Structure 1
Amino acid sequence: MNDDQQALIASLEAQETTLVFTRFDNADAWRLGSAMVATAIERNLPVTIDIRRHGQQLFHVALPGTTAENDSWIERKVNVVNRFGAASYLVGRRLAVSGTALDEARGVEPRLFAAHGGAFPVRIKDVGVVGTVTVSGLSQADDHAFVTEMIGVFLGV
């Protein structure tokens, strides 16, 4: 693993321990999602935003420039977080470094999983992962960066 990859993975792992909620309910999903939409519109980002808790979709919006394909990417990224309990981008970077594919050998159907950036776990302190905040429409690094930036703002970290 080169130094850049190692630094990226360390940074992504740090986000997992820093961006932790103390609670997360429907009103929190609405506030976070609404803030994400406002920022995306301000920045003219063509993204679809999706927030879920325990498998229930609490917030979903598709901004101009997106298609149904973005919804498919969201489903596949969410499956990665739910399966591995970590951000889809972190899972993807770990797989890339190890030279491993996300396939039947790992016990998953590739067409249902995408280890690409954009889905981040809603992790509650002393509870664990209870949901996801997902963006699709930008490069995987930018999808991930937007999600983590907005969660950080929401949490005040």
Structure 2
Amino acid sequence: MRYSLPELLQQETELQFSRFSHDDAWQLGSLLRTLAAEQQAALAIEVHAYGQQLFGCAMAGTSQDNLHWLARKRNSVLRFGHSSLYLGEYQRDKGQEFEQQPHIDASQYCAHGGSFPLRLQGGGLIGAVTVSGLPQREDHQLVLDALRQLLAGG
């Protein structure tokens, strides 16, 4: 599934928290793990907020490579304030590759789907939720599904 840039921006506006605690991070990470297990997907999962990792999980079938992808995706979201999928799609629409920009260190940043900004309503960026293990649009969709479920109270 390909999302338009306006759709990706709308997701970021829609999926914001009134508050976000360590317990919320645990719930979000646990929900992502459950959803991945239901799909029989091997994922690395991270919920990063307030400058620290609040949830981390590497499911059976993942490798250190997945952890590297987590860090690069998260770094991009925290630096630029948009989902990693948005960053990649934005550059592709301009005929460029995110990682080939002169100010980007591709060993530290990437624009592949799977990391999404954690924002407080009326506030700012507080962190990122990130997964790695599926194709990038599926990683992105899994994060969306979990955020929507958690924000709906489920």
TM-score by length of 1: 0.91
Q: What's the offset of the Cα at 1:25? A: 1.0
Q: Does 1:11 align with 2:7?
A: yes
Q: What's the offset of the Cα at 1:43? A: 1.7
Give per-residue Cα distances to partners, 1:5-30, cap 9 Å, x unaligned.
7x522211110110011111101001
Q: Pick one of 18, 21, 25 that aligns with 2:21.
A: 25
Determine the C-alpha separation between the residues in 1 that align with 2:123 and 2:146: 22
Q: Which runs of 4+ in 1 moved over 6 A?
A: none
Q: Pick one of 139, 144, 148 that aligns with 1:148.
A: 144
Structure 1 gap segments, 5+ residues each? none
- 1:50 maps to 46
Q: Which amino acid aligns with 2:104?
A: V
Kindly, what percent of the aligned residue pairs are identical? 37
Determine the C-alpha separation between the residues in 1 that align with 2:116 and 2:15: 9
Q: What's the offset of the Cα at 1:100? A: 2.2
- 1:60 maps to 56
Q: Does 1:89 align with 2:76?
A: no
Structure 2 gap segments, 5+ residues each? none
Q: Identify the structure with the greater helix proportion.
A: 1
Mapping 1:55-134, distance limit 5 Å? 55-103=51-99, 105=101, 107-134=103-130
TM-score by length of 2: 0.93
Determine the C-alpha separation between the residues in 1 that align with 2:79 and 2:12: 16
Q: What's the offset of the Cα at 1:101? A: 2.8
Q: Which amino acid aligns with 1:143?
A: D
> Contact 2:29–2:45 (CA<8 Å) still a contact in 1?
yes
Superposed CA RMSD in Å reads 1.7
